[in-house]
Structure 1
Amino acid sequence: MGKPSRERSLSEKEARAVAKNLRVSPQKLNLVAGLIRGKKVDKALADLEFSRKRIAQDVRKCVMSAVANAENNHDLDVNALVVSEAYVGKNLVMKRFAARGRGRGFQIKKPFSQITVVVRETEEEAETPKAKAKGKDAGKKAAPKKAAKKPAAKAEAAVAQKEAE
Structure 2
Amino acid sequence: MANLEKNQAKAVSKYVRMSSTKVRRVLKQIQGLSYKEGLMILEFMPYRACRPIWKTLYSAASNAQNNVGLNKENLIIKNAFANQGPTFKRSRSRAKGRNFKILKPTCHINIVVENNSENLIFF
User: Would you call these one fold, judging by a TM-score over 0.5?
Assistant: yes
* Unmatched 5+ stretches in structure 2: none
Q: Greater share of strand residues, 1 or 2?
A: 2
Alpha-carbon offset, residue 102 of structure 1: 3.3
1:57 equivalent to 2:51? Answer yes
Instruction: State the alpha-carbon separation in 2 of the partners of residues 28 and 102 from structure 1.
Output: 35
* Unmatched 5+ stretches in structure 1: 1-7, 127-165
Instruction: State the alpha-carbon separation in 1 of the partners of residues 119 and 57 from structure 2.
Output: 24
Equivalent in the alignment of 1:70: 64
TM-score (structure 2 length as normaliser): 0.90
Q: Greater share of helix residues, 1 or 2?
A: 1
Instruction: State the alpha-carbon separation in 2 of the partners of residues 78 and 112 from structure 1.
Output: 29
Q: Which has the higher contact order (CA 8 A, sep 6+)?
A: 2
Instruction: State the alpha-carbon separation in 1 of the partners of residues 104 and 110 from structure 2.
Output: 21
1:107 equivalent to 2:101? Answer yes
TM-score (structure 1 length as normaliser): 0.68
Which deviations, in whole Å up to 9, do the C-alpha atoms of 1:81-102 show, x marking residues without a partner? 1000001111121111123343
SS at match of 1:52: coil
Instruction: State the alpha-carbon separation in 1 of the partners of residues 117 and 87 from structure 2.
Output: 42
Task: Give the partner amino acid of 2:96.
Answer: R
Root-mean-square deviation (CA, aligned residues, Å) is 1.5
What does 1:5-154 correspond to in 2, within 5 Å?
Answer: 9-125=3-119
Q: Larger Cα Rg: Structure 1 or Structure 2?
A: 1
Equivalent in the alignment of 1:148: none
Sequence identity (%): 33
